[in-house]
Structure 1
Amino acid sequence: MKSFTRRGFYAAVVIILTATLYFPVSRVKADSDKHEIEAFLNEMFKDRAEALIYPHMNSIDKYYLPEKVSQVALQHERLRAEYVNTWAEKRALKLVSSEVNIRIIRQNIVNDKAQISLVQSHKVGYMYINKVMSEHVFGVGTRHFLTLKKSGKTWKIAKEWYLDPLDEDPGKISDGFVGATSAARAKPELADGTSYKRKRAVNYANKYAGAAWGAGNKHRYNKKYLDYTGKGGDCTNFASQVIGDPEEGGGLNMAGGWRYYPSSGGTRTWVQTDAFSNFLTRSGYGRLIAKGDYHHIVTPSQKYPEGAISQLQAGDLIGYILRNNDTDHFSVVVGFDDYGYPLVNSHTADRYRVPFDLGWDRNTKYQLFHIKD
């Protein structure tokens, strides 16, 4: 009996040691990789944010592999910083702060490779050059899909994709400055009208601006509505919600083909940019103030001595045309900075109080829609 017990004891020890050698070790390694990756991502996004305002881009080179696909991702970040800083220079601004928060959605780690999806909320501050004004801040939100590889003892970016609201050619930014003209006209106090609840619409746009820094609702869209991001974009769906949601939004009555059905989603006019653009004027809900490139809408004219852009109010909409006279994007005017620059919110990609032309170039045409109260 004693000898059996001793053999049983030794066998149990062997089993325990074997389990310790195989199962916990693999778990420990997986946990270690997870923590390493989280630390890497937080440090990398922090350094990329700082590189936006201190564009000495060598500071982020260390996060990328020498392979072509990885270097393409690095080049995108360099051009992004160049674009934003060139835009700021042309608008007599200076970027003064840049901070990010990330939320990792999922990680799939296999050996020395990791597939990551995450959401970034980015806060950017700017000030006007030679103007005594406080810092203005805006937010953008982006959804990132990354492949990381371990190189030696550190992780590196093998490839990355995200829909970037600031992805434009820095050599194609319109010259000129809109602040001086749009500030010349006093903006009416934000209030709810008889048919259009303008103040409520702006509050809705701020609450549901998604992943962008500054947005409410814990950076989530309104769950009452389908998310069309993966079906061509959610910007028009969002604009329709802002002016039409009966409980929190502008409360315009659904009319004609402009409708949202909880069971099936939005109609073509509700979610498709061109159809929505046409609906605004045909329905009488909106009035097209002007349509044209940056210079056309900011240049004083006989009809608009301070430029057509000065006629916008918070709660109005801007359509963006890239080519073939087709509307490609919609944003919601939610206010103005201290120098009168119109600020917008949108989905796909998510923006919160972003200067209206940041992320666009001199080929963009703007449709300025006033929503009638």
Structure 2
Amino acid sequence: MKISLKKRFLQVMVIALFIFLICPFCKPKGEEISTKEEVANSIQDIFQNRNKAILNGDLKLIEGNYDRSTKYGKWAYEHEEQKMKYLKNWEERQGVKFTEIMPEVMIKRIRGKDDKYSVNLICSTKYSYIYEDDPVKVNSCKIGTSHVLNISKKGDNWIISKEWYKDPFADSLNLGNLKVDAINQYIKSQQARDFSNMNNRRKGAVEYADRYCGIASEKEYGYSYNRKYRNYNSQGGDCANFASQILHEGGKFRKNSGWNYDGSGATRSWLNADGFKSYMIYSGRASLVAHGSYEKVYKASYKLLPGDFVAYEKKGDITHISVVTGADSKGYSLVSCHNTDRNRVPWDLGWSDKNIKFWLVHVNY
């Protein structure tokens, strides 16, 4: 049966009207892609501005990047302000100056429409610093973070209305009554250390840590963990799991019934920070170098070698493990870890609050 031209015309009009009513604000696909690219570029600029603000000590550089009229936008801004103060305090105590902070932002997902988007991203940030009395030697370390943020357009600019990420500097520096000048002078009096003669097991531990420190690793490694092992970050943290991997895979320590990981899971001594510290010391595989506040142990930290580890204690509980992977131009020990991901970062950076105690542990390779 033939359909008349009039009926065909009416059908086309009905379909067109239906599309118009269902999706009156639909953007062409090309326009949507263009908007997401604009959002991604704006986020890159925001992260650059945040690091410039830290280097210059100028909060005005980031005031326009946050919607401070909202509760969460204000909190996000104030958190960056707190981080800036922390890093300036650490510089002062350490006798250093940050010379460059370079973020590499990788957008994982952008969702939203119109002028409001939710973004998941990772950021691998390289921090470069010099000692004030030796400005020629540049030291660098990397910290990796995962972010979830809401961004919206205000006028011609994209601004953050909410942001979450596990901040590596969350345990902010509280200098309290520390003898800052004395600490500063002692650190600056030290010399670079030579690790060229360390044994192959220690070298293997460092190589493994460099390769699998996640978002803080080199780009060529894909910012990923070793997929042979489960990632426990979402279940309280992956730091002890990573430290155990470093000692087993890199340092060639054998598993046993007390310290083990297999397809069915892991023992407490493998997976739990306090369990790991206690097992290593009481099994004889490691020995304690020093324990106490920063002021009590910082001189002893120069005894640590690559492949040793630091345990961090808050309110009587070991909450974190980092493995020593090197030393900077003044011989100051550097560590690597998961949760958050760090690659050759000064061992107390982000952990130097006066209420935190440290366990400096020598591993018997």
* TM-score with structure 1 setting the length: 0.86
> Are 2:221 and 1:221 aligned?
no
Closer, same or farther: CA 150–78 of 1 in aligned 2, 3 Å:
same
Structure 1 CA distance for aligned equivalents of residues 198 and 214 of structure 2 = 24
Q: How does 1:195-344 map to 2 (within 5 A)?
A: 197-212=201-216, 214=218, 217-245=221-249, 249-261=250-262, 263-298=263-298, 307-324=299-316, 326-344=317-335
Which residue of the partner structure matches residue 342 of structure 2? 351
Deviations 1:133-174 (A, max 9, x none): 311111101000111223344322111010011224344375
Which residue of the partner structure matches residue 189 of structure 1? 196
Quick one: percent identity of the two aligned structures? 33
2:356 to 357, 360, 364: 364
* TM-score with structure 2 setting the length: 0.88
1:143 partner letter: S
2:78 partner letter: Q
Secondary structure in 2 aligned to 1:145? strand
Structure 1 CA distance for aligned equivalents of residues 54 and 25 of structure 2 = 44
147-156 or 64-73, which deviates more: 147-156
Do the aligned partners of 2:211 and 2:217 also contact (CA within 8 Å) in 1?
no
Displacement, 1:310? Answer: 2.3
2:280 partner letter: L
Structure 1 CA distance for aligned equivalents of residues 148 and 308 of structure 2 = 33
1:125 partner letter: S
232-241 or 146-155, which deviates more: 146-155
Closer, same or farther: CA 317–171 of 1 in aligned 2, 3 Å:
closer
Closer, same or farther: CA 10–28 of 1 in aligned 2, 3 Å:
farther
Structure 2 CA distance for aligned equivalents of residues 93 and 157 of structure 1 = 31
Closer, same or farther: CA 336–216 of 1 in aligned 2, 3 Å:
farther
Closer, same or farther: CA 368–200 of 1 in aligned 2, 3 Å:
same
Deviations 1:222-259 (A, max 9, x none): 111111110001111110000012xxx11101123210
Do the aligned partners of 1:190 and 1:198 also contact (CA within 8 Å) in 2?
no
Which residue of the partner structure matches residue 41 of structure 2? 39
Secondary structure in 1 aligned to 2:150? strand
Do the aligned partners of 2:172 and 2:350 also contact (CA within 8 Å) in 1?
no
Secondary structure in 2 aligned to 1:257? coil
Do the aligned partners of 1:181 and 1:310 also contact (CA within 8 Å) in 2?
no
Structure 2 CA distance for aligned equivalents of residues 216 and 274 of structure 1 = 33
Deviations 1:49-69 (A, max 9, x none): 211211211111111112222
1:351 partner letter: R
Aligned-residue CA RMSD in angstroms?
2.7
Structure 1 CA distance for aligned equivalents of residues 265 and 199 of structure 2 = 27
2:32 to 30, 33, 55: 30
Structure 1 CA distance for aligned equivalents of residues 339 and 197 of structure 2 = 26
1:145 to 144, 148, 172: 148
Deviations 1:26-78 (A, max 9, x none): 42442232122111111111111211211211111111112222011001111
Displacement, 1:8? Answer: 7.5
Closer, same or farther: CA 67–19 of 1 in aligned 2, 3 Å:
closer
Structure 2 CA distance for aligned equivalents of residues 213 and 49 of structure 1 = 20
Question: Alignment length, in residue pairs?
Answer: 354
Structure 2 CA distance for aligned equivalents of residues 97 and 228 of structure 1 = 32
Structure 1 portions without partners, runs of 5+: 299-306
Structure 2 CA distance for aligned equivalents of residues 272 and 22 of structure 1 = 54
Which residue of the partner structure matches residue 159 of structure 1? 162
